[in-house]
Amino acid sequence: MNHILSCLLVYTMFAIEPLEAHEDDRQEALCEETITVFQDVSMIGRKDRLASNITRKHDEMNARGWRFVDMEIYVENADLEGAFLTYSRTVRCGEKS
């Protein structure tokens, strides 16, 4: 009988963790913030400048903490007009940018 009580006591000591350990391990809730921007192309050199304009936009957004997610090319009446670029970043929930 004493052996069973000893085993039960040891099991209980390992199964119950102190509350302080949980308080230290708490993390703030994180959310994803997403933004889509339109990268317009100029009337001159549409094909040449779109790639360099997008690269500059990627560098600019990356410097502000955004990461590239997706791109959709926008064509109107068979003319290249630009691209919609989507970026995302992780922020604390409830935090406004």
Q: Is 10 helix (H, G, I), strand (E, B) or coil?
A: helix
What pLDDT score does 44 carry? 58
Q: pLDDT category, 7, cuts 50, 70, 90?
A: very low
- Looking at residue 40, its amino acid is D
Q: Residues 35-59: pLDDT tens digits?
A: 999 988 866 555 667 888 899 999 9
Distances (CA, A) of 49 to 14, 34, 75, 76: 64, 25, 15, 18
pTM over 0.85: no
In the chain, DSSP assigns E strands to: 30-40, 67-76, 79-92
What pLDDT score does 79 carry? 84
